[in-house]
Amino acid sequence: MTAPPLRLGVDLGGTNARAALVDQAGALVASCKLQHDERTPLAVARTVAAAVRQVAGQAGVAVAGLGGAGVGVAGQCLGATGMVLNAPNLGWRDVPLGDLLRAELGLPVRVVNDLSAAAWGERAFGAARGVDDAVLVFVGSGVGAGLILGGRLHEGGSGVAGELGHVKVTPRGAPPRRCGCGEWGCLEAYAGGMNLAARVREDLAEGRAGAVLAAAGGDPGRVSASAVEAAYLGGDGYARELWAETGELLGTAMANLCTVLNPTRLVLGGGVLLGCPNLMRISRAHLGDRTLRAARRGLSVEAAGLGDDAGVVGAALLGAEAAVAHDR
Ligand SMILES: [Zn+2]
């Protein structure tokens, strides 16, 4: 069987499930985003199924005719087994998401980490198009990476390769911060948007970070990486210190990744990096300084090209490949 002309991709985050039908050129023919009412695995699977029915309806096709589904999940996934080991934003541990979705959709389902899906999408149609050795690093509410090595998606021995957010980076002179994954001193505990905001709120309680609070309109609940960036632009010393530390941690982790994997393309994305040009600049300066010189040669750094669509597009491609393999 050949792959059907429309491919079904799902991007599953802590707040929304987004389904899309993607054509052969990577364009979204139909798209639907639904918010989770509750985050129990069964409720989320039903929300995904509802979003899938909506996009099928928009495109005038039957769900059963779609062949298969690819689902990118913000969490640690046990490769092609469909098991989600740990998804902090959904509050999940050891959830058999693939089985739940197969039952709801009646289709073969390929579950994959959301950044692996995004890397595959960027490689097919975005900033890593046609590149065989590409690394994608996203810094948004969390931090993660997707790895294309030798033209293939690299998911590792058990499927959790690319968890850049959970490399340990405790800065000098400070006790490690706790990460959403339950471990201590992870990069994401310092550079992920949710943890950055939490840290600023802690510093507010100690009488620091006033300029960041002002940039957030005086509401501690609206403190964010963008507010730090705004305070930085205003010359605030606290924001400068925070960006100096965060940029050093991020840039060094990315440099180490490039030193180990020797990609020819590094694709950077996510709301925190793309929305905070000064954090991007500082991170890239450390990336340039700290990548092994031999690995720096031939490395180009690009901003992600598909925006929020990379994940659904990549998931759709991976789902279609899995469906073809399933039918063989
Ligand atoms: Zn962690």
pLDDT greater than 50 at residue 322 = yes
167 CA → ligand 1 middle, Å: 7
Q: Where are the domains of the chain?
A: 7-121+308-327, 128-304
Whole-number Å distance, alpha carbon 40 to ligand 1 midpoint, is 22
Ligand 1 mean position to 97 CA, how many Å?
21
CA of 139 to the centre of ligand 1 (A): 14
Tokens coding 5? 């002309």
Q: Say if 7-121+308-327 and 128-304 have the same CATH topology.
A: yes
At 61, which amino acid appears? Answer: V
pLDDT band at 147; cut points 50, 70, 90:
very high
- Assess if CATH 3.90.550.10 describes domain 128-304: no
**Ligand 1 center from residue 190 Cα (angstroms):** 10
Structure confidence at residue 3 (pLDDT): 47
Mean pLDDT, residues 134-148:
95
- Compute the distance from residue 185 Cα to the ligand 1 centre, in Å: 7
Q: Report the percentage of the chain scoring pLDDT > 90.
A: 86
Going by pLDDT thresholds of 50, 70 and 90, the confidence category of residue 79 is: confident
- Interval between CA 244 and ligand 1 midpoint (Å): 21
Q: How far, in Å, from the CA of 188 to the mean position of ligand 1?
A: 6
In tens, the pLDDT along 201-243 reads 999 999 999 999 999 999 999 999 999 999 999 999 999 999 9
Under the banding of pLDDT at 50, 70 and 90, the label for residue 324 is confident
Say how many Å lie between the CA of residue 309 and the centre of ligand 1: 25
Is the pLDDT at 111 greater than 70, yes or no?
Answer: yes
Task: Name the residue among 206, 213, 209 with its Cα closest to residue 243.
Answer: 209
Gap from CA of 270 to ligand 1 centroid (Å): 18
Q: What is the mean pLDDT of the chain?
A: 94
* Residue 236 to residue 264: CA distance in whole angstroms: 37
CA of 9 to the centre of ligand 1 (A): 27
pLDDT in tens, 25-43: 999 999 999 999 999 999 9
Q: How confident is the model at residue 4 (pLDDT cuts 50, 70, 90)?
A: low
**Cα 106 to ligand 1 centre (Å):** 34
**Dihedrals phi, psi of 93, to nearest 5 degrees:** -135, 135
d(CA 234, CA 227) in angstroms, rounded, equals 11
pLDDT (average), residues 268-279 = 96
- Ligand 1 centroid to Cα of residue 155, in Å, is 18
| 166 CA from centroid of ligand 1 (Å) | 4
Q: CB burial class (10 A; 0-12, 13-18, 19+) of residue 35?
A: exposed
Greatest Cα pair distance, the chain, in angstroms, is: 64
Q: If you measure from the C-alpha of residue 24 to the centroid of ligand 1, how many angstroms do you get, rounded to a whole number? A: 36
Q: How far is the CA of 266 from the centre of ligand 1 (A)?
A: 22
CATH 3.30.420.40 fits 7-121+308-327, yes or no: yes
